[in-house]
């Protein structure tokens, strides 16, 4: 569908029912808000063209003239304007990993329609925005593990309807799956991995999080899912820290960064209480209270020789041992 047709459909949506009315300048303002750049004369031509085939009327008794649907006319089904198309197009990449595949396929028609509209209005500012804006992962990108579509559908359905499941789940580093009864409680997407927050039937009040791709079978066993009293997905994530928590006790980190490596912390801090002090040797001394996680260690090791952990002592010693191991391995 050409841009002119999309614009005319949008004009029809803007028009109120008689006796309310809108002027061509008001229509122009609303079209500009939706991403259309169009002159008053072009809008007037559109209205005159639509008037010949649609039950719209112009009140020309006084200026400014106003346009509206005839009071007995039936309105149109809404079409997708450029801003709506942009919204759908941007949302597609984020919604796909969060939705069951069969559900996503049902709404994919909207995303396809949105992308088609943006392609047809290439000169439009909204289309230019979509072409020029990207979101990139900060860390090394990994391919998403394969999830069984049928298992995924059963788990999502159970989570939605509060159902207990009988599943086959393969523990880490094991080759054979084991039969389990689980109570689905929540779903978290971390990087490319989907984690199911659930409790085992034999330990109902102690939820855990399990990678979705390790489930090889799932089916409803006819029972209602059990939910611990006061359970909250947000609280669970905060309390258990899905960054692989080593300890519930935060640590007071002190580390010296080469200026080039630590400069980004002057713009995006490790914590709200972070302190940075320039040192005489050109390095930056960074102090912050942070969670004691595996992610913290991976992050620090990623700087290699550009960072020196000063405190706490146990973390400094871990870094030393890691460096010794790496040195031995690379020899």
| CATH code of the domain covering residue 12 | 1.10.10.10
Instruction: Work out the average pLDDT over 13-18.
Output: 84
How many CB atoms are located within 10 Å of the residue 254 CB? 17
State phi, psi for 142 to the nearest 5 degrees: -115, 150
The whole-angstrom separation of Cα 282 and Cα 284 is 7
pLDDT at 260 over 70: yes
Alpha helices by DSSP H, the chain:
3-14, 24-33, 40-51, 82-95, 101-120, 125-132, 149-161, 233-240, 259-262, 294-301, 313-330
Range of the domain at 323: 245-330
Q: Quick check: is 141 in a domain?
A: no
Does the structure show a pLDDT above 90 at 153? no
> Which pLDDT does position 140 carry in this prediction?
65
Q: Is the pLDDT of residue 78 over 60?
A: no
Task: Flag whether 63 is in a domain.
Answer: yes
227 and 250 co-located in one domain? no
pTM for the model stands at 0.60
Residue 138 included in any domain? no
Residue 140 domain-assigned? no
Cβ proximity of 22 and 67 under 8 Å: yes
Are residues 33 and 107 part of one domain? no
Is residue 259 located within the same domain as residue 326? yes
Residue 142 lies in a domain: no
**Helix, strand, coil shares, percent, the chain, to 5:** 40, 25, 30
* Structural domains in the chain (count): 4
Q: Which of 20, 47, 69 is where one domain is finished?
A: 69
Burial classification of residue 26, based on how many CB atoms lie within 10 Å of its CB (0-12 exposed, 13-18 middle, 19 or more buried): middle
Q: Quick check: bond before 312 cis, omega within 30?
A: yes
Q: Are residues 236 and 158 in the same domain?
A: yes
In this prediction, residue 242 has a pLDDT band, given cuts at 50, 70 and 90, of low
How would you classify residue 244: left for phi > 0, otherwise alpha for psi between -120 and 50, otherwise beta?
left
Domain co-membership, 253 together with 233: no
Please check whether residue 48 is in contact with residue 56, taking contact to mean a CB–CB distance below 8 angstroms. no
**Res. 13 pLDDT band, cuts 50 70 90:** confident
The predicted structure's pLDDT at residue 76:
53
User: Domain ends where: 69, 101, 117?
Assistant: 69
For 173, 181, 235, 237, the CA distances from 231, given in Å and listed in that order, are 30, 19, 8, 11
């Amino acid at each position: 569908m050409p841009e002119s047709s999309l614009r005319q459909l949008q004009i029809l949506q803007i028009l109120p029912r008689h006796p309310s009315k809108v002027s061509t300048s008001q229509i122009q303002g609303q079209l500009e808000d939706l991403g259309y750049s169009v002159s008053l004369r072009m809008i007037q031509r559109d209205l005159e063209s639509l008037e010949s085939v649609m039950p719209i009327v112009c009140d020309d008794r006084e200026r400014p003239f106003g346009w509206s649907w005839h009071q007995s006319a039936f309105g149109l089904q809404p079409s997708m304007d450029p801003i709506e198309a942009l919204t759908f197009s941007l949302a597609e990449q984020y919604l796909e990993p969060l939705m069951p595949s069969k559900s996503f396929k049902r709404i994919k028609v909207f995303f396809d329609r949105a992308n088609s509209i943006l392609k047809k209005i290439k000169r439009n500012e909204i289309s230019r925005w979509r072409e020029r804006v990207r979101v990139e992962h900060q860390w090394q990108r990994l391919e998403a593990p394969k999830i069984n579509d049928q298992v995924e559908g059963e788990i999502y359905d159970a989570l939605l309807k509060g159902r207990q499941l009988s599943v086959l789940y393969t523990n880490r580093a094991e080759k054979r799956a084991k039969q389990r009864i689980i109570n689905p409680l929540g779903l978290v997407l971390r990087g490319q991995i989907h984690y199911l927050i659930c409790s085992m039937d034999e330990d109902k009040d102690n939820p855990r999080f399990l990678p979705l791709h390790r489930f090889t079978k799932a089916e409803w066993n006819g029972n209602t899912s059990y939910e611990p009293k006061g359970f909250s997905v947000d609280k669970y994530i905060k309390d258990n820290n899905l960054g692989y928590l080593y300890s519930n006790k935060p640590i007071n980190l002190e580390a010296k960064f080469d200026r080039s490596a630590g400069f980004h912390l002057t713009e995006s801090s490790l914590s709200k209480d972070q302190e940075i002090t320039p040192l005489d040797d050109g390095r930056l001394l960074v102090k912050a209270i942070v969670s004691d996680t595996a992610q913290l260690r991976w992050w620090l090791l990623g700087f290699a020789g550009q960072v020196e952990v000063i405190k706490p002592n146990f973390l400094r010693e871990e870094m030393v041992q890691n460096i010794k191991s790496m040195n031995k391995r690379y020899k």
